[in-house]
Amino acid sequence: MASSLQHYRNIAPYAASDTASRGRAHPEGGPGYRNEFQRDRDRIIHSSAFRRLEYKTQVFVNHEGDLFRTRLTHSLEVAQIARTIARALGLHEDLTEAICLAHDLGHTPFGHAGQDALNSCMKPYGGFEHNLQSLRVVDELEQKYAEFDGLNLSFETREGILKHCSPNNALQLGELGRRFLNKSQPSLEAQLANLADEVAYNNHDVDDGLRSGFITVEQLQEVSFFRERYQMVAKDYPQLSARRVKYEVVRRMITSHVNDIIGTTQANLKKHNINSPEEVRALPSAIVSFSAELREQNKELKQFLFHNLYRHYRVQRMSRKAKQLIGEQFEAYMDDPRLLPNKYQSRVKAMEKESGVDGRARAIADYIAGMTDRYAIAEHDRLFNPHRIA
């Protein structure tokens, strides 16, 4: 059944093939009326970690407003952008979507501030990186199936989740980490998911930044990529309301990115005469990419967002609170694991027995990383507010 399903779309010879997958850690029977990568996608969507993304910060903490993006809406937007590009390039859309939906499963509460805080806490115990944590989620921490821990995803989906990896960590991951040691490339679908992530968060952070009032259209005129499209919209629709102008500009920015990736990648495929996934992996650099011009424009946009949005004093204040919330909880749990809920106490004991204090720390990091923003705030209150009943 899987063999016939693969070809209901026009998949190119350089695309990943679900019928030629490197398989799963635990062999399973065929997926019936789905292909292998559809099965991966479905397991991700039904996971607890995926549902929790609804209440995890992208830039703005969840309770700051109902209309700001969360990790869940971001993941859905990444998947939409990537599927559009995958279809145009003849890539495997289901694999592309699975990677995109899973790429942030291991993210902490409070966005990058939370990750930085947890990494700081974990430095003596091996550090913390959300890509590796996403892999831990799908390999170990989700516990829903009778025959294995994790989601038992295919090699290709797991490979795409792991965007970055240090040599030390790569050595511990076996075949999955090999490409970080021999400098080979992942599948085109994994490369695309990585780039679609960048497209989504850059452009949608512009949208959320404008909505919040933390940045203004006047400030964004400094950024050539925004200014050019803003001027086109103003010329085409001189009577359009400011609100709709903003949406139209962001829409055109995303469209420009999508078109650029498709055109640049098609040129790269032709230049290198790529006809198989093996040829993709053997190259020294990625095939799915921006043009040099758009790469420079993205750099300018990123710098603007860094200085004007991510370093806005109100974002900084919340980041400071996030670091305190996570740091104090980690320290309290490390000092006395009996403060943890019962089921997590059992996990800490098991991991400490296996790996000593490093195991204790990793189990506590798993617990904190799995928290939503509001759960982390409530748990901190339960731990440290003397007037709160535990």
In a domain, residue 344? The reply is no
The verdict on residue 320 lying in a domain is: no
Residue 255 belongs to domain spanning: 2-16+48-314
Those residues of the chain that have pLDDT short of 50 are 1-8, 61, 63, 65-66
Cα 8 from chain centroid? 28
Three-class DSSP labels, the chain: CHHHHHCCCCCCCCCCCHHHCCCCCCCCCCCCCCCHHHHHHHHHHCCHHHHHHHHCECCCCHHHCCCCCEHHHHHHHHHHHHHHHHHHHCCCHHHHHHHHHHCCCCCCCCHHHHHHHHHHHHHHHCCCCHHHHHHHHHHHHCCCCCCCCCCCCCHHHHHHHCCCCCHHHHHHCHHHHHHHHHCCCCCHHHHHHHHHHHHHHHHHHHHHHHHHCCCCHHHHCCCHHHHHHHHHHHHHCCCCCHHHHHHHHHHHHHHHHHHHHHHHHHHHHHHHCCCCHHHHHHCCCCCCCCCHHHHHHHHHHHHHHHHHHHCCHHHHHHHHHHHHHHHHHHHHHHHCHHHCCHHHHHHHHHHHHHHHHHHHHHHHHHHHHCCCHHHHHHHHHHHHCCCCCC
Rounded to two decimals, the pTM is 0.93
End-to-end Cα distance, the chain: 53
CATH number of the domain residue 257 falls in:
1.10.3210.10
Contact call for residues 111 and 101 (beta carbons, < 8 A): no
Both tokens assigned to 6: 């693969």
What is the pLDDT at residue 100? 98
Q: Is residue 345 part of a domain?
A: no
The per-residue pLDDT for 4 is: 41
Q: Which two tokens stand for residue 198?
A: 């960048």
State how far Cα 247 lies from the chain centre. Answer: 24
CB burial readout 362-386, b (16+ within 10 A) else e: bbbbbbbbbbbbeebbebbeeeeee
Amino acid letter, 313 = Y
Q: How many domains are there within the chain?
A: 1
382 found inside a domain: no
Q: Is 383 among the domain residues?
A: no
Both tokens of 317, joined, read 């204040």
Q: What pLDDT shows up at residue 212?
A: 84
Partners of residue 57 on adjacent β-strands: 70
Q: How many CA atoms lie within 13 A of 59 on its CB side?
A: 27
Is residue 348 in a domain?
Answer: no
Instruction: Establish if 255 belongs to a structural domain.
Output: yes
Q: Are 105 and 372 in contact (CB under 8 A)?
A: no
Supply the pLDDT for residue 118: 96
Residue 109 lies in a domain: yes
Distance CA(181)–CA(152), nearest Å, equals 24
pLDDT at 7: 45
Task: Kindly give, in sequence order, each residue whose CB lies less than 8 Å from that of residue 371, ignoring residues fewer than 6 positions away.
Answer: 108, 109, 379
Nearest Cα to Cα of residue 329 among 143, 108, 130: 108
Q: What is the pLDDT of residue 2?
A: 41
